A and B are shown apart, each in its own frame.
Chain A
Amino acid sequence: MRRGKDEEMGHPGFREKATILDRDGIRRALTRIAHEIIEKNQGVQEVALIGIRRRGVPLALRLAEKIERIEGAQVPVGSLDITLYRDDLTRLGPQPQLSRTEVPFPVTDRTVILVDDVLYTGRTVRAALDAIMDLGRPRAIQLAALIDRGHRELPIRADYVGKNVPTSSREIISVQLEDTDGQEQVVILETG
């Protein structure tokens, strides 16, 4: 069974069922999350954002931009490739291409906020937690997801959620961002 990160690839045989968020919806959700991050951490000192490749990265950059506009403080942003930490590598078909992890700041003693597009089984987040622990010892790790679609297989929950979407496991949540996909929307796909 291939899911999680693999949902980023094409989806032949699926048709669009509904739009969950449009361009404005994504923008408003991120603005709210930015406010929540500032509020929960009482400012953003010692806070860093780390996006999970691929779509977590542009989302983390946008959050940092919004935080700077609201709070007037810059937040460092990194990107994380979790491929080497996956628990399903041997079950995948062709080897997933690795990309670079770029965390150009020490994570030790910081509050790291992991950013991903869709929170689903929780396995990607589990891998990301291990990957971050190998970079240092953060004071705390929090999780922000644009969409939480349920169906968790591990005891993991998000601290910040753009939108909760009840789904069936036969459906696919497709997050499309200007930076990676040329358009801006979140749609739900189902086998047609």
Chain B
Amino acid sequence: MAVRHLLGLADMPAAAINEFLENALPMKQIISRDIKKVPTLRGKTVITLFYEPSTRTRMSFELAAKYLSADTVNVSASASSTSKGESLADTARTVAALGADLVVLRHPCAGAPHLLARLVEVPVVNAGDGMHEHPTQALLDLFTLRERRPDLEGLKLVIIGDILHSRVARSNIWCLPRFGVDVHVAAPPTLVPAGLAALGVTVHDRPEDALPGAGAVMVLRLQRERQQEGLIPDVREYARLYALNSERLALARPDAYVMHPGPMNRGIEIAPDVADGACALITDQVTNGVAVRMAVLYLLMLGRGE
């Protein structure tokens, strides 16, 4: 595989995506054992650079590295020199000088991981850049769906929520149709980016129009920190019109899977009984996230001596 960095799924060949997922299967076996550790990345160092708050993604990468026996160092924006004015380029030089073997970057600016990848010699993994991509999340979503249904051809998946600000939605929209998934979105028109339909996605204004026949529903977090621009009138109104509750879920197929990238605002975008329901794959997503990230680290950090 010629993939050196994991920056996004938009231009990732399907074969490379498959390779990540196939290698995640044995990784998942490891994290279900009593001894959740293999010596594969012994002596290697993974640096996680988080310029945005995140608990679960950072934890997930950190555990993935530790289960493979790599050492991890976390740098978060508040603790780092960024608050003292250091540029990303200088941080990159520091990271290289520290001897990192791989860098995981989350950054509020789209394209920051691409810039970093040009500045450092080691592989870079995008852990979310602005409103652009969150490739490991889309990989774990695909892995989770395939675990339930190996052939996704013809599966109707509805993404409900703030598509405009969602890098999770974007990565999934790049990725899922290539595996035969019929992707629909349901969102207030102000929260749908222009030109979305050109990516082969069907856009609906209301969840009631999108859900009939759906085999999977992906609910996005209402990012309240990004709702300062008046794109929705009010959180309560959003909850009333767009929350996935049991009545709306009943419109989808009876066995429809419910997914959420987390963290959830229970009672806003998803009703608690739906989040904890029998069809919810939300905890699977968390476990699979570690397995998929282990596969990403394994494939990017080893065997690059062509």
Contacts and interface: CB of A to CB of B under 8 A. Distances in A.
Interface in A124-141: 130, 134-136
Interface stretch (B20-28, B49-57, B181-189): B20-28
B26 A100 contact: yes
Given A91-B305, A93-B305, A98 B23 contact: yes
A128 to B, nearest CB: 13
Interface residues of B, number: 24
A126 to B, nearest CB: 11
Contacts of B298: 84, 95, 98
A9 interface: no
Interface in B1-49: 1, 19, 22-23, 25-27, 29-30, 33-35, 37-40
Contacts of A90: 302-303, 305
A97 B306 contact: no
Given A95-B303, A101-B26, A85 B38 contact: yes
Interface in A70-128: 81, 84-85, 89-101
Interface residues of A, number: 20
B43 to A, nearest CB: 9
A96 to B, nearest CB: 7
A1 to B, nearest CB: 13
B65 to A, nearest CB: 14
Given A84-B38, A85-B39, A85-B40, A100 B303 contact: no
A85 B41 CA distance: 10
Residue among A98, A99, A136 with the highest chain B CB neighbour number at 10 A: A98
Where chain A touches its partner, the secondary structure class is loop
Contacts of A135: 33, 35
Contacts of A91: 305
Nearest to A90: B302
Contact of A101 (B29, B39, B68, B299): B29
Interface string B103-131: 00000000000000000000000000000
Contacts of A136: 34
Nearest to B101: A90
B19 to A, nearest CB: 8
B276 to A, nearest CB: 31
A98 to B, nearest CB: 4
Nearest to A92: B303
Nearest to B300: A95
Given A130-B39, A134-B38, A100 B25 contact: yes
Contacts of B299: 95
Contact of A97 (B23, B38, B68): B23
Given A95-B299, A97-B22, A89 B40 contact: yes
A97 to B, nearest CB: 7
B26 A96 contact: no
B1 A94 contact: yes
A130 B303 CA distance: 21
Nearest to A86: B40
B22 A134 contact: no
A78 B227 CA distance: 54
Contacts of B38: 84-85, 134
Contacts of B33: 134-135
Contacts of A130: 39
22 contacts: A84-B38, A84-B39, A84-B298, A85-B38, A90-B302, A90-B305, A92-B303, A92-B305, A93-B306, A94-B1, A94-B303, A94-B306, A95-B1, A95-B298, A95-B299, A96-B303, A98-B23, A98-B295, A98-B298, A100-B25, A134-B35, A134-B37
The 3 closest A-B pairs by CB, nearest first: A95-B303, A84-B38, A98-B26
Interface of B: 1, 19, 22-23, 25-27, 29-30, 33-35, 37-40, 68, 295, 298-299, 302-303, 305-306
Given A84-B39, A92-B305, A135-B35, 11 more contacts: A84-B40, A85-B40, A89-B302, A94-B1, A95-B1, A95-B302, A98-B23, A98-B25, A98-B298, A100-B25, A101-B29
